[in-house]
Amino acid sequence: MNKYLKLDEWKLIEEGFNPENQRGSESLFSLGNGRIGQRANFEEKYSGNSLQGNYVAGVYYPDKTRVGWWKNGYPEYFAKVLNAPNWVGINVWADNEEVDLAHVKVDKFTRILNMRTGLLERHTEITLKSGKQLRIVSKRFLSMHAQDIAAIKYSVTPLNFNGLITFLPFIDADIKNEDSNYDEKFWNIVEKQVLKNQAFITTETKKTLFHVCNGMIYNITKNHVTTDFEPELIVEEKFVANKIGVHANANEELVLYKYASVVSSRNIEKQDLLAYTKERVLWAAKTGFEILLNDHIAAWEAKWRESDIVIEGDIEAQQGIRFNIFQLNQTYTGDDPTLNIGPKGFTGEKYGGSTYWDTEAYCLPFYLSTADPHVARNLLKYRYNHLEKAIENAEKLGFKNGAALYPMVTMNGEECHNEWEITFEEIHRNGAIAYAIYNYINYTDDKDYLAEFGLEVLIGISRFWAQRVNYSEDKKKYVMLGVTGPNEYENNVNNNWYTNKIATWTLKYTQEAVAFVKKNHPARFNEILQKTKLQEYAEPSRWTDIINNMYFPADEKRGVFLQQDGFLDKEIQSTDFIPADEKPINQNWSWDRILRSCYIKQADVLQGVYFFEYEYDSETIRKNFDFYEPITVHESSLSPCIYSVVASKIGNHKKAYELYLRTARLDLDDYNDEVYQGCHITSMAGTWLSIVEGFAGKRVKDGRLHFNPGIPRKWLSYSFAIRFRGSLLSIKITRKEMHIENLNGKIAQVAINGKNFDLDIKQTVTVEI
């Protein structure tokens, strides 16, 4: 852990400059707006340890797979969201002495991320080797209102001298990914142009041929008066800039306003990119920093009205949940069905920035409850649009007849994960995609989605499960061999309980979906039959046989579901036996030692218990929690939230809060010593789940929104807004009561501790708890 940020309800505050924290801070203070994103790199040169990072949503490169042993069916590449041209840069000199925080005395340093407004600020005072002192203040944002626009207000004030301050605002396209498999650079230059106070550079990705145009325009004020200047125009192979010298006396403030536009060929035709980018930066400069900022803040205010969670009495928990919600909202806005949510979002390169099953299992509930319904629908349509690729992925592994295996990692529907035990074996991801369809329909009542898109996906996934199992004569049951469950500290196991469970559940749900669409959408059903060539009776009949005869490993003595065959052959001992200096074990133990241990990376059996809790009584849930939680190291960011929700369900409130705090502050306090690689964006949705589904006990049953509320001991109250079937509800829970108000929309059907209420618009209900 590394706790160096000040506690504040709305801000991240770093006081004092420690170079060892720089890469972590670049992750934590990162910015995004759903279209573009950026790590919190300094504007001026910094030669210390840093990961320069600018990212453009959906722009990627298929980096050739690098493995020691090639296997049939192996992905040919690993898709990487590219580190894009750097538009942030403003190098600075004071009388020819360059500013570089790695080589100056930093006298004062404060970095602030205001999560309410999406504004990043930095206040720095330095002493150069010559003894000259400077004050630098920077403010920047990526507009949530105009998503192709960003702006910087960068001020320099000489404190103890009169002299020449030289600025070099630039765009640098000589960029590489730190995680490049072959140390390759992925950008070619298409065109570049430099004018007085303007510069533009258009780049093209190798292989995928995306075009991205970066443009900048700037102006400089001295004592609040715009100055005129004749810059030196700089054009290099992959670099464009202006260089300007401005004389300043001691305590005279120079401010450089830099406006940028980042536009890709995903949104604008290639031949129009440069002209469009010019138009946008000119518009931004004409509009001005303050008006752009006010529009940006207004857009954030709208998001916070519907997604904020307010906690009274626990500032650590409050800062944690707001940080998580902030990152989720700036990573994905839901307006583009071709985009999805990468595990690191716009904060780093690890995992390639691609789509995992995290979206369906963790993120979907957050967007269902806090955004317009089209946002969650677009997340599902993303998978429907990749169905043919999922069928191709299955065919590469020998599956037939329209079986679909969705990829573990993807940008365009093709599998592109580098590790065989994941690519071939972690097939439970298919089930999460099926469950997301159920979850969406159960929450929204949008049953038409089944006919439009959902049923085709379910048929493909069910065909995969039906072919992936085999019948064991020894067990007289269907079994699933050679898999990896959610717990990736086990590979190539037989009969992972969760995988078997979600496979049979999918088969059953697909049968129900077939019956629904046939009855309610007969014309569309016939189209689906023709398109998928579904054998209307034979295939569901086989699915029934599998459902009724699937093998599930269990320990009857303990009353628990076993993670997989042979799990009890391990030495079962709690994580308390792991020495503190050996944690996290994935950074200190050999892989062989991890595989032989009983220790669990993340919720596995408990993932299934969480999804299907309505099938089990409280005692069964408690026994499984009590068995598995003590041997779970939670070294996946996706783990603590699931255990927290289940702990709340069984009344273990102390553990629920402990695990909530871990998931809420996983990155802020760097629990796993890896925030320098980027933040854990998709698991941040789990923080929201821990409160809303955990502490508040939110569930949807029979079309009604149910709550079984509780409250952590440290909290005085907590409140949040939630969308449900056309209503917007305001909810507040104190130590004594729960209050729900229907703010607008339709009549809201809710229940508190089993008692039903139908709330009209502006109607409220308060219940003692």
CA distance 430 to 468: 12
Which of 567, 406, 556, 411 lies closest to 487 in space, CA to CA?
567
Which of 432, 502, 484 lies closest to 682 in space, CA to CA?
432
**Token pair of 760 as six digits:** 């009209």
Strands 54-56 vs 60-64: parallel, antiparallel or unpaired = unpaired
C-beta separation of 111 from 131 below 8 A:
no
CA distance 248 to 252: 6
**End-to-end Cα, the chain, rounded Å:** 36
- Report the half-sphere exposure of 398 (CA within 13 A, side-chain side): 4
C-beta separation of 102 from 45 below 8 A:
no
Going through 196-253 in order, the beta strands assigned E by DSSP cover: 198-205, 211-222, 225-226, 232-236, 239-248
Strands 748-752 vs 704-707: parallel, antiparallel or unpaired = parallel
- What is the CA angle 649-652-653, rounded to 5? 95
Cβ count near 271 (within 10 Å): 10
CA distance 189 to 334: 31
CA distance 25 to 728: 36
Which of 594, 686, 605 lies closest to 642 in space, CA to CA?
686
How many whole angstroms from its chain centre is CA 352?
12
Q: What is the dihedral of CA 436, 693, 410, 179, to 10 degrees?
A: 180
Buried b (16+ CB within 10 A) or exposed e, 679-714: bbbbbbbbbbbbbbbbbbbbbbeeebbbbbbbbbee
C-beta separation of 245 from 164 below 8 A:
yes
Cβ count near 20 (within 10 Å): 11
Query: Is 253 an annotated catalytic residue?
Result: no
Cβ count near 204 (within 10 Å): 18
How many whole angstroms from its chain centre is CA 596?
31
Secondary structure (DSSP) of 372-402: -HHHHHHHHHHHHTTHHHHHHHHHHTT--TT
**Token pair of 512 as six digits:** 């129900």
**Token pair of 351 as six digits:** 């995992």
Strand partners, 56: 36
Helix or strand holding residue 755 (H, E):
strand 755-759
- Phi/psi region, residue 398 (left: phi>0; alpha: psi -120 to 50; beta: rest), is left
**Which of 415, 456, 488, 741 does the annotation list as catalytic?**
488
Helix or strand holding residue 438 (H, E):
helix 429-444
Going through 252-372 in order, the beta strands assigned E by DSSP cover: 254-264, 309-312
The CA R_g of the chain, rounded to the nearest whole Å, is 27
Which residues are marked as active site?
Answer: 488
